[in-house]
Structure 1
Amino acid sequence: MTSQVRGSQLARLLGQWHALPGRRRSPDYAALAAAVRGLLADGRLPLGVRLPAERELADALRISRTTVSAAYRQLRETGHLASRRGAGSWTMLPGTHRVASSGLWTPSDDRDMLDLGIAALAAPPQLLPAARAATEDLPRYLGGAGYHPTGIIELREAVARGYTERGLPTRAEQIMVTSGTQHALDLVLRLMLPPGGGVLVESPTYPNGLASLAARRARITTHGLSTDEAGWDGELLLGSLRQGRPKLAYLIPEFHNPTGHLMPAELRERLVATAHSVGTDLIIDESFVDLPLDDTVLPPPTAAYDRHSRVISIGGMSKPYWGGLRIGWVRASAPQVQRLAAARVGVDMASPVLDQLVAVHLLADAPAIVADRRRQLTAQRDVLIDALAARLPEWRVTVPRGGVTLWAELDGPISSALARAAEDEGVRLAPGPRFGLDGTLERFLRLPFTLPAADLVEAVGRLAAVRYDLDRAVRPQWREPAVIA
């Protein structure tokens, strides 16, 4: 089923379309068509969505139907709209252009390369003491086979305590330990998503999440996030669930990757209620939940509003602790955890016991570790924002309330070209299209603030030089795909 956007919803997305740059030089219909194309390019208006009828949109915008008709005609001529008599008009891109999002990047071994493709911190100083303590705990496990499909009990209890402290009472039997958050997502999809099943995701979203969905041949629909602090449009998000009735929705409510948005409590409650009413299960990615900045107060976990086992939460150690510690988890009902464990046996049997013991010791020291991380990230975020304001003032960023990334709106649709040129200058980037579908998001760039402050300033300086020269000479080159994390 093709989802549809109503006239009032599209009018809200368009905002002050009549006041856009160049408006006075364009007739009304051309300005309206340009605004719709901008929504498509930014990923806020999904592809394949049916637009409102001409009269409905005219009434919502308080303009003539003739103007809307001319705008739709121009969108058809530019390849951004397809129409069929009696069926309506739906969005597309010229030439059915599509861009895959599953390329892999590996961190460069070049010490001079400033890698802004990986949104992860170096290991905390507490890791080595935790590893030494874990080796002292290991002997009591050596007499067994070492296979713990749901995880060792100490770690499951520690993770469960974390959820309980956040206001979501949780028992150890509701926790399954995995080999990282990505592994947790993959296992949930194996269990709950049949090949070709429908999934709703945000746009932009985490690229490796899209890769997991592509591996399941999922039918993906998107909810476009705004570039302002609000992030989600509740009416549009819930409307997408009601219209499409997807099997699953994969969402990142806490410090969304890549935008940094934080979903408000009221929308979380409505989201869970709507998901239950339409039969959609929610996969809630909490990778960044431990990293609020600026004394941001977190809303209750999304699963706190769940009364029907519709919400499965996933998280892990990679972002607040260290990516090299491949420990993640799933929080679900106890029966769901048992089904996940049965599905896991065909994949990897269990997570390493030693790694789990290290995680137990790190979580025991979590207050000190996470407080240090927040101070570090706050300082580095502010350095990056100041450097961008000084060197690239035309770029727009919304200051995130947590997480580890900025989502920068560039001064043109140049993200991929900038990434190619920047690598020659020793800066690796994650261009906007990697975070979406169909080649959109070229006006955006994810910039993590996980590198030391001096490196961030140097990286922005190199980017400013590349941006200045970008239009002067283009040198197409073949490049190896790279891992975005």
Structure 2
Amino acid sequence: MTSTVRGDQLARLLGHWHALPGRRRSPDYAALAGTVRGLLADGRLPLGVRLPAERELAEALAVSRTTVSAAYRTLRDSGHLTSRRGAGSWTTLPRGHRVASSGLWTPVDDLDMLDLGVAALSAPAEVVEAAREAAEQLPRHLHSTGYHPTGIHELREAVAAGYTARGLPTAPEQIMITSGTQHALDLVLRLCVPVGSPVLVESPTYPNALAALAARRARISTHGVDAATGWDADLLLGALRQTRPRLAYVIPEFHNPTGHLMPAELRERLAATAHTASVDLVVDESFVDLPLDGTPVPPPVAVFDRHSRVITIGGMSKPYWGGLRIGWVRAAAPLVQRLAALRVGVDMSSPVLDQLVAVALLHRAGTIVPARIAQLTAQRDALLAALAEALPQWRVTVPHGGVTLWAELDGPVSSALARAAEEVGVRLAPGPRFGLDGTLERFLRLPFTLPAADLTEAVSRLAGVRLGLDHAPRPSWRTAEVIA
């Protein structure tokens, strides 16, 4: 069913649309249409949502219906609105666009973009060798149906051994293999978060986690992670006690997007407070294998869990390869079985061959992961040096792990910068994608997953774009720059 935005809701999103820079040179309908495109551009107005009727929006904005009608017509002409008599009008994209892996809507033939919207590495060379080994192991599994809702035993055993080596004794029965970390989160939310339940997340946080929560129609509240200092323990624990959400989602290891590492003391207090407040705690460990500069990683949050409140999710995407859709859930064995029963109604199981490839890669972790860390360290340093030279007015806290840094800009221009950067061949994920209600416009996530030369070139282009924003006579909207 297509969702609908009411007139008063859209009016709130539009804000001071009639007072935009350059407004005096634009008629009301053009300014209104441009602002709607801007809402689409920063993700605040979803695609496929039905807009209010012309009369309803006109009343909410206190303008004439003619103005709204002309704005809708302009949006239809640009491909951002589709209307059908008797069915209404809903937001769309211009023809020839698609969803890219970064979550950005981009032209299909846009192949030369420097993509800073994706925080993931290309595959290591060992993937080919691991795939050959997996193919050799596959005949051992062909006698079965191939349906393993909790995953094949070899992979569950390997993942469990990894947790045990980190000081968290784990049996294979406590592991369920999923089709990536996002799939793991989605299954946990389906089981633990009834529709409309309160949930606490960090701000900023992983955009796809917000999308998964939105799909559950969760009532989201946030706790701020400071760009420079990370978590405020009293505020975080106080939020758990006061709001008592059904579930809290945190990223303690090299937080996405800020790169912060949660100290051991806060991990212990977090697990204890979650128990006291009867809150399930979902810990996303996507980046735990990527400490830089020899940074010691504290024990897993689940080490401090005495009451089976902590559910840990992780996967292969960041240290190995995103194209290998392998993730996992680590939890109490009874909860794993409940997740498996739920999963049967979703996708049955992960591909056996992919799981065998994952086993082979985990056996090569001693070679692959150190090489990844060295690669990321060099690329991070190159990005920091480029920013210091070309954009010294931006403030950045050096991340000691993970794959991203969180830059505080010299003004609330993140979305405008992302739109303009497309013009010079750089794709960005602006700050508002990592929060709620269009906040975080002063911030920008910059992954250091591209080669150093590409990162330096991207920053050089961004510096030129940033200078151009200060001299732009009016906002411009280009159909190829829409962000969902």
* TM-score computed with the length of structure 1 as normaliser: 0.78
- Check whether the contact 1:311–1:332 (CA below 8 A) recurs between aligned residues: yes
User: What does residue 411 of structure 1 align with?
Assistant: 410
- Percent identical across equivalent pairs? 73
User: What does residue 204 of structure 2 align with?
Assistant: 204
- Does the residue aligned with 1:146 lie in a helix, a strand or coil? coil
- Check whether the contact 2:286–2:313 (CA below 8 A) recurs between aligned residues: yes
- Does the residue aligned with 2:389 lie in a helix, a strand or coil? helix
- Shift in Å at residue 470 of structure 1? 1.2
* CA RMSD after TM alignment: 1.5
Q: Check 1:121–1:101 CA distance in 2 against 1; reply closer, same or farther (3 A cut).
A: farther
Counterparts of 1:173 and 1:304 in 2: how far apart (Å)? 17
Matched, 1:352 2:351: yes
User: What does residue 175 of structure 1 align with?
Assistant: 175
Counterparts of 2:478 and 2:46 in 1: how far apart (Å)? 20
Q: Check 1:294–1:250 CA distance in 2 against 1; reply closer, same or farther (3 A cut).
A: same
Counterparts of 1:411 and 1:340 in 2: how far apart (Å)? 45
Aligned residues: 386
Q: Check 1:250–1:425 CA distance in 2 against 1; reply closer, same or farther (3 A cut).
A: same
Counterparts of 1:449 and 1:290 in 2: how far apart (Å)? 16
Counterparts of 1:101 and 1:340 in 2: how far apart (Å)? 33
- Shift in Å at residue 479 of structure 1? 4.0
User: What does residue 260 of structure 2 align with?
Assistant: 261
User: What does residue 448 of structure 1 align with?
Assistant: 447
User: What does residue 367 of structure 1 align with?
Assistant: 366
Matched, 1:106 2:101: yes
User: What does residue 122 of structure 2 align with?
Assistant: 122
- Check whether the contact 2:419–2:481 (CA below 8 A) recurs between aligned residues: no
Counterparts of 1:313 and 1:408 in 2: how far apart (Å)? 28
> What are the superposed Cα offsets for residues 406-431 of structure 1, whole Å, 9 maximum, x if unpaired?
10000000000000000111000000
Counterparts of 2:316 and 2:384 in 1: how far apart (Å)? 26
Counterparts of 2:469 and 2:243 in 1: how far apart (Å)? 41
Counterparts of 2:45 and 2:262 in 1: how far apart (Å)? 25
Matched, 1:476 2:480: no
- Shift in Å at residue 111 of structure 1? 3.5
- Shift in Å at residue 244 of structure 1? 0.2
- Check whether the contact 1:102–1:208 (CA below 8 A) recurs between aligned residues: no
**How do 1:51-130 residues align onto structure 2 when only pairs under 5 Å count?**
100=44, 105-106=100-101, 110-130=110-130
Counterparts of 1:482 and 1:137 in 2: how far apart (Å)? 43
- Shift in Å at residue 112 of structure 1? 2.0
Greater CA deviation, 110-119 or 350-359? 110-119
Counterparts of 2:100 and 2:430 in 1: how far apart (Å)? 12
Q: Check 1:364–1:101 CA distance in 2 against 1; reply closer, same or farther (3 A cut).
A: farther
Letter matched to residue 284 of structure 1: V
**How do 1:135-146 residues align onto structure 2 when only pairs under 5 Å count?**
135-146=135-146
User: What does residue 224 of structure 1 align with?
Assistant: 224
- Does the residue aligned with 1:361 lie in a helix, a strand or coil? helix
Matched, 1:147 2:147: yes
User: What does residue 317 of structure 2 align with?
Assistant: 318
Q: Check 1:175–1:102 CA distance in 2 against 1; reply closer, same or farther (3 A cut).
A: farther
User: What does residue 282 of structure 1 align with?
Assistant: 281
- Shift in Å at residue 481 of structure 1? 4.7
- Shift in Å at residue 105 of structure 1? 3.9
- Check whether the contact 2:409–2:442 (CA below 8 A) recurs between aligned residues: yes
Q: Check 1:102–1:130 CA distance in 2 against 1; reply closer, same or farther (3 A cut).
A: farther
> What are the superposed Cα offsets for residues 186-215 of structure 1, whole Å, 9 maximum, x if unpaired?
000000000011110000000000000000
Counterparts of 1:283 and 1:117 in 2: how far apart (Å)? 25
- Check whether the contact 2:43–2:483 (CA below 8 A) recurs between aligned residues: no
Counterparts of 2:210 and 2:353 in 1: how far apart (Å)? 30
User: What does residue 379 of structure 1 align with?
Assistant: 378
User: What does residue 60 of structure 2 align with?
Assistant: none
Counterparts of 2:101 and 2:160 in 1: how far apart (Å)? 33
Counterparts of 1:369 and 1:459 in 2: how far apart (Å)? 27
Counterparts of 1:482 and 1:138 in 2: how far apart (Å)? 41
- Does the residue aligned with 1:430 lie in a helix, a strand or coil? strand
- Shift in Å at residue 106 of structure 1? 3.4
Q: Check 1:224–1:102 CA distance in 2 against 1; reply closer, same or farther (3 A cut).
A: farther
- Check whether the contact 2:395–2:407 (CA below 8 A) recurs between aligned residues: yes
- Shift in Å at residue 480 of structure 1? 5.9
Counterparts of 1:334 and 1:392 in 2: how far apart (Å)? 50
- Shift in Å at residue 478 of structure 1? 3.1
- Check whether the contact 2:116–2:447 (CA below 8 A) recurs between aligned residues: yes
- Shift in Å at residue 99 of structure 1? 5.8
User: What does residue 298 of structure 2 align with?
Assistant: 299
- Check whether the contact 2:414–2:444 (CA below 8 A) recurs between aligned residues: yes
Letter matched to residue 334 of structure 2: P
- Check whether the contact 1:101–1:436 (CA below 8 A) recurs between aligned residues: no
> What are the superposed Cα offsets for residues 277-317 of structure 1, whole Å, 9 maximum, x if unpaired?
01000000000000000000000000000011000000000
- Does the residue aligned with 1:225 lie in a helix, a strand or coil? strand
- Shift in Å at residue 471 of structure 1? 2.5
- Check whether the contact 1:281–1:311 (CA below 8 A) recurs between aligned residues: yes
User: What does residue 160 of structure 1 align with?
Assistant: 160
User: What does residue 465 of structure 1 align with?
Assistant: 464
- Check whether the contact 1:407–1:445 (CA below 8 A) recurs between aligned residues: yes
- Shift in Å at residue 216 of structure 1? 0.2
Letter matched to residue 478 of structure 2: Q
Q: Check 1:351–1:373 CA distance in 2 against 1; reply closer, same or farther (3 A cut).
A: same
Q: Check 1:161–1:416 CA distance in 2 against 1; reply closer, same or farther (3 A cut).
A: same
Counterparts of 2:365 and 2:197 in 1: how far apart (Å)? 38
Q: Check 1:153–1:482 CA distance in 2 against 1; reply closer, same or farther (3 A cut).
A: farther
User: What does residue 29 of structure 2 align with?
Assistant: none
